[in-house]
Structure 1
C-alpha cells in the first residue's frame, strides 16, 4: 500500500510511530491514538508525527515548512477549543474578533486588514477543514468538533493551498470513521455557568467496507460584561454543532468519505464599550466629555475592567454554518488521484451598538448576510519516494454573498455628529430617524492550475519548485438608499452623515505565482531548508460603501483594490538530539508586500465602516523558535517564541490617528496643528511610513510544562498530572494608523490543570485559566466622528472548572 494513499485513506490522520521505521498508515480498524503533545512533538517519546502539509505524507521534522501541530487531546486539556484560544499556544498566530463576522486571523502580522470585515477581499490565512477551504473567517469562531489535529503553517503556502494563503494556513483534520467500534464523551463545567459537552461515536456499518462517525458539541456560558440597563450579561457563548461522516472502501485501491456538518451560534454578543478618552482636533465642546455632559450622560464606569456597560441597542451575533463534502482517493499504483468536492453556506444575522454607549446615536447597525460557496479540487500525487516526486492539481471556486445592510440614526445623533454652526445645528430632528438601507450583491469566481515537484538530488538533498496559475473574477452591486423619514430631499447635513450610493465594481485578473525550496538533511535528526516564494493575494472590490468627494458623491476610483504581490524569503533548521528528547526548530523570514490591502477610515462623520485601499509597501521580518524537552519519562516542557518586526515601508496617504483628526481640514499651504489641539487644523491624510503594522507584537512567547506520577484511582491504573501553559505578548497597536490612545499594553496569561488520566479510558482534571486574573484588552477601537472616545473589548477574566472525559 502506498505511503500517500495510506495517510489519506484514514483521512490524513496524525500518527505516532517509533523510529526509525518509515511511517505507514494503519488499516482503518487499527488506527492509532492521535498525537497528544500540546505542540505536536514534545511528548511523542522520540517518535515521528506524520503530517500532510505538502499534500503528501511526511514527518513534521522533515517537512521544510515552519509549522506547528496540536493534537486533539492537547486541544481539550489546554481549553483551546477555537482559533481564538489557539493563539495562546501559537506565538506567531494572531486572531481578532469583535463579532464572528468581523474576525481576522493573521500569521507573522499578515493576513487580513485590521478593522471591520469587507467581503470584497479574501483573507491571507487560509482555513481548511478536511482539505475543504472555508472562505469565511467566521468559521474560525466555532468550536473544534471531534478534532484529530491542527497544523499551523507559517509563511506563504500559495502553490498547494491557493492565493488566499499569503501569510499561512490553518489546516484542521477531524477524526475519521473507524471499523473498530469506539465512542468518546467529554463534559466540562465552570464558573460563569460554563457548560460544554462533546460526544462522538464510530463503528462499522459493513465490516471492512463501510464505517460511520457521528459527533456533536454544545458550549454555553454567561457573558462576562453586565449591561446595567437590560440586566443581561453580554459576550456570552452559545454554540452548537454536529458532524457526520461515512467512509466507504469498496476496493483496496478506492476510498470515499462523505461528510456533513452544521453549526449554530446565538449568544448575547458582542459588545465594545468605554475604555478611555483621548484629545482630538475637534473643538473642545465637540469632544466626548463635553458632548456627554450636554446630554446629561454618564457611563456606568470609566474602568472597563469593572465589566459593566449600558449600551441601548439589543445585541445579537447569530450565525449558521454548514456544508457537505466528498473526498475520494484512487490508488493507481505509481500515483494517487484525490478529489475534494464541497458545498458550504454561512448565514449571519447580527445586531450591533455602533455608538458603544447608552445614548441613542446610532440605534440600528446590522448587515445580515447569506453566503454559499462551491469548490472542486482534483490532484494527482506520486506514491513513494523517487528521483522526481510530484503533486499536480486543479482548483475551482464559486461564491455568492447577499447582504442587506441597515443603519438608523437616533435623537442624539445630531449632537454628536453635526457641527452646531451648520444649518442643522444640534436640532435632534435633523438626524433622528435618518435611515440607510444597503443592498449588496457579490460573486467571486476563482480557478487555478498548480504543481509541486520534488527533485531528490540525493538521499540528503532535495529541490522542490512549485507554480500556480490563478484566475479571479469578482463582481459586486452596491445600492444604498437613504431617507430621512419626512419624504423630503436630504439636506447637506444628512448627506454628510449617510449618503445615497450606487455602484457596480468589477475586478478580474490572471496571475502566476510560485516558490522554490531547497532542503538538506545534515543528519537523520538535523534538517535545514531555504525557501523563496513569489506569492499573490487577489485584488478586490469595496463592498462597504465608498468615500465621498467634496460634493458628497462616491469616489468611483476607489471601488477596486489591486492585488497584493508578495516576495518571501525564509531559512529554517529543524533539529532533534539527546535520543530525540530535545526538539529545537528555528526559522528566520523576510516578507515584503507591494500594494498591501489596508482598511482605511472614511472621513464622513457618520460612516461607521471603513473602505479598502492599497498601501504602497509593507515588510515583516523576524525569528521564531519552537522547542520541546523531555528530560524524563515523567516530565516535559516546551517554549516557543517569535520576534516579529512588521511595519509599513511606504504608506503616504493613510488615514490619520484620532489625535490628528476632527479639526478643519488643511488646505494648500496650511500647516496642520500639533496632535490633540482642540479646534486645530487636521492634515488631509498622514504619512505613516515606518510605523508598525497593527495587531502584531514585536515579542510573543508560549511556554508550559507537565509532570505526572503513576497512581491508582478507583481501581484504575494511570497517572496524576500537573500541567501549566503560559503565554506573553508585548505591546501592539489596535488601529491601522498607530495612536497613543489605541496601543494595547503587553500582557501574560497563565493556565493550570491538575488531573488523573487512565490509559484509553478516563481523564478527569480541574483547570484554572487566566489564573492571575490579568486585565487586558483584545481590541481597542474608535467611536466615529473624532469625539475622542476609545472603546474596548476586554479579554476573559479568571475562569475555572472541571472536565471529565471517557473513551470507550
Structure 2
C-alpha cells in the first residue's frame, strides 16, 4: 500500500466511517504515538508523522490504512489547503502514480499508473477507468469532477481494479472524495487566499444543529478567480483564467438510534476565459512543402506573435469560453441492523457544457467556430450490505444501477482563410476564399448509457495473521448512440464539391453496444508483525465496450468507416504485491507496491489527421502492459521535523498495436502508410519516473507554531501523442513549492506561499494542428505564483 504526504495527516484522528451512525469498533492499535505527536489531522506538517493510526473506508468499513491490502493514498483536507491542491488536476504533484491531463474541462482525463481514459480528445461513448466518487456518488465524467474541492475532509486514491468494492466498475483505480459531515456542535471554518495574477479564493463552511440532536446541517461555499496567464494580442485580454463558484449543502437526520439519512445538494459554476493552445514548435510531415505550416503562413503573410510559447503570447482569433454548470442531489441512508449495516445511495447529477474553441490555434480565420455544447443527466442507485465489527468472515455485497443521457449540439464553421490553408495551394479552389468560407457542420449527437451490477467481497480471517479476500462482480452494460452531421456550404446548400467534402463530410450513424461480463479478484494478506503487513492480489477485471461519438474516420471517398463505430471491451489481468511497514516506534513508514497489468483490446483514442478537424476516434490496441514499482516513505526524526519521499517507476507500453495511426512525421503524404505498427512503444502521458518529496519544520511560538515547508515533484519525459512521435515528447521537469507561516491549532493558520518557485517552463500537453501542416501547439503549465492564505475556525 502506498501513502502520500497527506495520508499521514490523519495519523492522530480516525476518519468517520462510511456507514454511521454505529461505526465498526476502532481497530486495535499495537502502539500509540506519544501525546505530543497527536497533532491535528489533515494538516501537511503532521502528514509526515509516522505515529498513530489512520482510519479509511476504502473497503466500505473503518480500518487502519496500514492494514488495508490495497495500494492507496490519502490526502487530508488541510493538506489540500496547504499545498494548493484544490482540484483533481493539482493532486498529481502529491501522488506520483496519478496523471491528469486537460485541454479544457470536457477534454480531461484522470489516469492511474498510465491507465484510465484514452489520452487525447474525450469521447463520450466509453467509460472512465478511474472512478470519481464524492460522498459515495459516482461521477460519470471527469469533466464533472473538475470542480474546486469544497469543505473536503479527505481524498482517498485507490490504485488498481476496484470493481468488487465500488458500484461502477473501475479497472485502473478510484478517487474517493469525502466532504466534512454535519455536526451537532456549532462550528464554522473560513479561508481566504490572495496572490499574483489577481488570484483570490475564499472558502467557508458553517455547521450545527437544526432540530436538537435529531437534525444537523452544513453549508459550504468556495469562490476562486484569477486572471489568465496568456496574453491574446488579437482579443486584447488575458486567457486561461479561473472563475469558479461552488456551493454545497447537507442535512443529517437521525431518524432512529440505528438509522440516519443524509441529504446532499451541490451547485458549481465555472466561467473562465479558457482554454488556449498555441504555437510550440514545428515538425516535418509527409505533406508537400507548399502545404506545410512555413509555406502556408508565408503565403498568407502571417506570423505568430512569438515562436517561444513561454513568452505566453498568442493571437488566436476565436473567442474562448469554457463555461459549465454542474451539480445534483443525493440521499445516503444507513440502517444498522446489528450484525450488518444496510446502505442506500440514491443520486441525480447534471452537467451542462458551453464551450468555444479556436481549433486552428493561430490568428487566421481558418476555423472560426468550434463548439460542442453538451447536456448530461445521470441517475444512480446503489444498495450495499456490509458486516459490522470483525468476525471470522467479513463481507460487503451490493447492487448498482446507473442511467445516463447526453445530448450534444456540435458546430464547426470554416472562415475566409480556410481555402488557402486547407486546399492544394496550386488549385483554383484554394485561390477562391468562397470555396470553404462559411462551410458549416452541424452535429446532433445523442447517447444513452445503462449499467447494472451485482458485486461483493468477503474477507476470511483464516488466522489472526492471515486473511483471504475473494471478490466477484456481474456487470451489464448497454450503450446506444446517434451521430448526425449535416454539412452545408456558404450558400446553405448540402450539395457539396469534392473539395468541401474533403474538409467537412456529412455523416450519419447509430452505433449500439451491449454485453454481460463476470469478473473478480482475490487477495491474500499476511501480518508478519503488528507493524509489518503484506498482501498479494490477482484481479480479472473488465472495462465496458464503447461507441464512437466524435465522428468516424473517412475512407478514400470521404465516407465514414462504419466498422469503427464500436470498440470492444477491455479485459484486464492485474497482479500486485505490497509490503507496508512502520519502524522506529512508528516514526518511519516505508510502503512498497509492485504491479503488473495486462490489458487486452485496450481502448485507445487516435487521430485521423483530417484537414479541418483533428478528430479523435476510438480503436482497440491488441494488448497493452503496464508494470512498475511504487514506494511511499515518511519520517519524523523529531517532533518538529517531518519528511516524505514518494516515488513511482511505471513502464507502460503497447505490446501489440499493429494497425495504429501513424505519428505526424509519417502522415499527410500520398505515399504515407495507412497504419503504423507501434508495438513495443510507450503509452502516451506516462512518465517512467515520478516523485513527490518534501519536508516541514515547526517550532513553538507562544501557544502556537511557526513553520516552514517545502514540497517538490518531478516527472520524467512522456509522449503527448497516442502514437509516439519524436516531435511530441514533453521533457521532464520538476516543480518546487515553499510556504512559511504560523498556526494555532484549528483556530488560526496564516502562511505565505510560492508555487513553481523557480518559474520552471514546462508543457502540460502538446497536440497537432489538423491537416498535417507540421504545426505543434502546446499548453504551458502555470508560471511562478505566490500569495498569502489565512484560515481560521470558530467552535
Instruction: Give the TM-score normalised by the residue count of structure 2.
Output: 0.95
Q: In structure 2, what is the Cα distance between the partners aligned to 1:212 and 1:185?
A: 17
Cα distance change of structure 1 residues 245 and 807 upon mapping to structure 2, 3 Å threshold? same
* 2:714 paired residue among 725, 728, 736: 728
Residue 321 in structure 1 maps to residue 322 in structure 2: no
Kindly state the Cα deviation for residue 159 of structure 1 after the two structures are TM-superposed: 1.2
| Equivalent residue number for residue 8 of structure 2 | none
Number of the residue aligned with 2:767: 781
Shift of 1:635: 0.3
Residues 425 and 760 (structure 1), Cα distance of their counterparts in 2 relative to 1, 3 Å cut = closer
Alpha-carbon RMSD: 1.9
1:425 Cα offset (Å)? 3.3
Q: Deviations over 1:705-764 (max 9, x none)?
A: 00001003xxxx100000000000000000001111110000000000000000120000
Cα displacement (A) at 1:550: 1.9
Q: 8 Å contact 1:11–1:176 — kept in the other structure?
A: no
* Cross-structure match for 1:192: 197
Look up the match of 1:534. 540
Give the match for residue 70 of structure 1: 75
Q: Return the match for 1:719 from 692, 705, 713.
A: 705
Offset of residue 459 of structure 1: 0.5
**Counterpart of 1:678?**
none
- The 3-state SS of whatever aligns with 2:391 is coil
SS at match of 2:477: strand
Indicate conservation of the 8 Å contact 1:547/1:603, yes or no. Answer: no
Distance in 2 (CA, whole Å) between partners of 1:403 and 1:40 is 47
> Measured at CA, do residues 13 and 408 of structure 1 come closer, stay the same or move farther in structure 2, by a change above 3 Å?
farther
Give the whole-Å Cα distance in 1 for the aligned partners of 2:457 and 2:396. 5
Equivalent residue for 1:479, pick from 481, 484, 495: 484
Task: Tell me the SS of whatever aligns to 2:358.
Answer: coil
Paired with 2:782 and 2:215, the residues of 1 have a C-alpha distance of 44
Residue of structure 2 in register with 1:674 after alignment: none
SS class of match (1:682): coil
Task: Label 1:500 to 1:287 Cα distance change in 2 as closer, same or farther (>3 A).
Answer: same
The residue that corresponds to 2:380 in the other structure is 375
Q: CA deviation at 1:384?
A: 0.9
Determine whether 1:695 maps to 2:685: yes
SS in 1 for 2:67: coil
Q: Any residues of structure 2 matched to 1:233-632 within 5 Å, and which?
A: 233-422=238-427, 424-488=429-493, 489-632=495-638
Residue 219 (structure 1) aligns with: 224
Deviation at 1:9, TM superposition (A): 5.1
Q: Cα offset for 1:426?
A: 3.4
Q: Is 1:8 the counterpart of 2:53 in the alignment? A: no
The change in CA–CA distance for 1:194 and 1:534 in structure 2 (over 3 A counts) is: same
User: Which has the higher mean CA deviation after the structures are superposed, 472-481 or 546-555?
Assistant: 546-555
1:759 matched to which residue of 2?
A: 745
In structure 1, distance between residues paired with 2:26 and 2:151? 19
SS of alignment partner, residue 165 of structure 2: helix
1:103 maps to 108
Matches within 5 A, 1:124-139: 124-139=129-144
Select 1:656's aligned residue among 656, 659, 662. 662
Query: C-alpha separation between the residues in 2 aligned to 1:80 and 1:234?
Result: 21
Indicate the SS of the match to 1:91: coil
Aligned to 1:669: none
- 1:16–1:35 Cα contact (<8 Å) kept: no
Secondary structure (helix, strand or coil) at the match of 2:18 reads: helix
Deviation at 1:604, TM superposition (A): 2.6
Q: Who is 1:675 aligned against?
A: none
Given the superposition, is the C-alpha separation of residues 12 and 348 from structure 1 closer, same or farther in structure 2, using an over 3 Å criterion?
A: farther
Which digits, 9 at most, give the CA deviation of each residue in 1:180-206, with x for residues without a partner?
A: 100000000000000000000000012
Superposed displacement of residue 557, structure 1: 1.2
What SS class does the counterpart of residue 7 from structure 1 fall into? coil
Residue 707, structure 1, aligned to residue 685, structure 2:
no
Match of 1:28 in 2: none
Q: Alignment partner of 1:630: what SS?
A: strand
Change (3 A) 1:580 1:754: same
Gaps of 5+ in 2: 1-13
What CA distance in whole angstroms lies between the structure 2 residues aligned with 1:704 and 1:698? 21
Contact 1:113 1:598 in 2 (8 A): yes
Q: Is the 8 A contact 2:24 2:62 kept in 1?
A: no
* Helix, strand or coil at the partner of 1:87: helix
Structure 1 193/18 Cα, relative in aligned 2: closer, same or farther at 3 Å?
farther
1:473-501 Cα offsets, whole Å, 9 max, x none, are: 00001110000022441001111111111
Query: Which stretch has the larger CA shift, 275-284 or 340-349?
Result: 275-284
- Inter-CA distance 41–517: structure 2 relative to 1 (3 Å threshold): farther
Gaps of 5+ in 1: 24-31, 665-680
Q: Which residue of 1 aligns with 2:780?
A: 794
Structure 1 CA distance, aligned partners of 2:74 and 2:728?
33
- 1:6/1:169 Cα in 2 relative to 1: closer, same or farther (>3 Å)? closer
SS in structure 2 opposite 1:552?
coil
Deviation at 1:40, TM superposition (A): 8.5
Deviation at 1:253, TM superposition (A): 0.6
TM-score by length of 1: 0.94
Q: Which residue of 2 aligns with 1:29?
A: none
- CA deviation profile, 1:107-147 (whole Å, cap 9, x unmatched): 00111111110000011100000000001101332100000
2:42 corresponds to = 36
SS at the partner of 2:352? strand
Q: Please give the alpha-carbon distance, in whole angstroms, between the structure 2 residues aligned to 1:639 and 1:12.
A: 36
Q: Quote the Cα distance in structure 1 between the aligned partners of 2:529 and 2:717.
A: 40
CA displacement 1:251-288 (0-9 Å, x = unmatched): 11101110000000001000000001011111111110
SS at match of 1:621: strand
Summarize the alignment of residues 672-683 of structure 1 with structure 2, pairs less than 5 Å apart. Answer: 681-683=671-673
Q: How many Å apart are 1:430 and its aligned residue?
A: 1.0
Residue 86 of structure 1: SS of its match in structure 2? Answer: helix
